[in-house]
Amino acid sequence: RGVVGVSKFKGALVGALLGDCLGAPFEGENEPSTDTLQEYFDSMENPSTKAPVKRFTDDTAMTLGILKSFIELGCFDERDIANRFVTNYFREPNRGYGESVVTVFKKLRQILNSSNRSNSETDVWKPAQQQFNGSGSLGNGGAMRIAPVALYCYSDYKLLLSTAEKCTKLTHTHKLGVNGALLQALAVQQSLMVDSSQPLDVDCFINDLMAKMTEVEKANGNGTDNDIEMPYVEQLKIVKNLLMSENLDDEVVIDLLGNSIRAQYSVPTALFCFLRAQKPIESIQTENKFRRTLQYSISLGGDTDTIASMAGAMSGAYHGLEYINEGLQSHCEGVDEIINLSEQLHSIAPSPPEHQ
Ligand code: R7I
Ligand code: MG
Ligand code: MG
Ligand code: MG
């Protein structure tokens, strides 16, 4: 267990950013055609392609809030992060935020502006708990922004889980929303820890995640009212089975794993895209596994910005920044800023105990 290099930090966050920016134009579309996407990525890889810059959406806006909070405060601080979410939302409300989470921002703004801090009304955790008549949101909004937590806490497994949970519960308290964010955080952390000069041991990667999510779902509960005991472990079993099958039918993947804004039907999908892209995919012409990950994620349609962003964070964390095509980077809003912030986060993230 060594120290993770800065290139992997940059790769994770640039990966998340590129997935968001490049996936956003296709969000909510039925699967875009194979040819459309091949041409789109070919043209985006060319830095001289004249195209309006691809703007990032809420996924990255919230990621940046968490990232800057860690850097400026040097620790996790729920009030500061809540304040950044609120400030960013009201400054730029048109970044494509989820419909319901806006209610949380409005309530949080009141709480944060209130002078009486000890009043129970000032509880920053409450608005999220009140969503959906008290059941909390099960959207993927917690998972889509979790990469900075995975990076900052990479060397401390318990801290990673507890911080990712708190960070998510500022907006998403449903077990499926929280556990989805934990799965995403664990997948990014594992991607950071493996050496990309060796071929990825996909079986080992998924088995490790399954063991961890079994513990998580035993401890946290599953959050469903049906009889599925461990919904994320079930989805991971499907991921594993799909990875072993020779023929890859998009319809089957979408049917079994999903491509929606629900965490349960998007985080395992993103993981599948990252792992599947370790091998060639017939409909996608590229040697680059990072591009292949994004292109494949987007080809499934649905919540394309978020699924590509989550898969991109895993792939970027594994391969590191140098592996990510510079042309692709050049067309996306905010790349230079996020690279700079990644460097700062790397310099404050605790190293593993034996290296301190
Ligand atoms: O999860 P959230 O932040 O949305 C993230 C998505 C990403 O795709 C972004 O790119 C952006 O497009 O939005 O926002 P929420 O508003 O908490 O959840 C999103 C949607 O999920 C809600 O508007 C609901 O339609 C649905 N949803 C639920 N529906 C029923 N019951 C979330 N939780 C529930 C629920 O408990
Ligand atoms: Mg978005
Ligand atoms: Mg397709
Ligand atoms: Mg989305």
Report the pocket of ligand 1 as residue ranges, CB < 6 Å.
57-59, 96, 98-101, 132, 135, 137-141, 144, 174, 261, 303, 305-306
Q: Is the dihedral of CA 15, 17, 20, 22 positive or negative?
A: negative
CA of 142 to the centre of ligand 1 (A): 10
Q: What's 5's DSSP letter?
A: P
Position 86 scores a pLDDT of 98
Taking only the tens of pLDDT, the chain with its 356 residues reads: 578 999 999 999 999 999 999 999 999 988 899 999 999 999 999 999 998 999 999 999 999 999 999 999 999 999 999 999 999 999 999 999 999 999 999 999 999 998 666 655 569 999 999 999 999 999 999 999 999 999 999 999 999 999 999 999 999 999 999 999 999 999 999 999 999 999 999 999 999 999 999 999 998 766 665 668 899 999 999 999 999 988 789 999 999 999 999 999 999 999 999 999 999 999 999 999 999 999 999 999 999 999 999 999 999 999 999 999 999 999 999 999 999 999 999 999 999 887 76
CA dist., res. 257 & res. 300, Å (int): 11
Among residues 20, 17, 67, which one has the least CA distance to residue 297? 20
Q: Which amino acid is at 336?
A: D
Which ligand is nearest to the Cα of residue 31, counting in written order? 3
Residues whose Cβ atom is located within 5 A of ion ligand 2: 57-59, 96, 305
Residue nearest to atom 4 of ligand 1 (CA): 98
Specify the pLDDT at position 224.
Answer: 65
| pTM for the model | 0.97
Atom of ligand 1 at shortest distance to CA of 132? 36
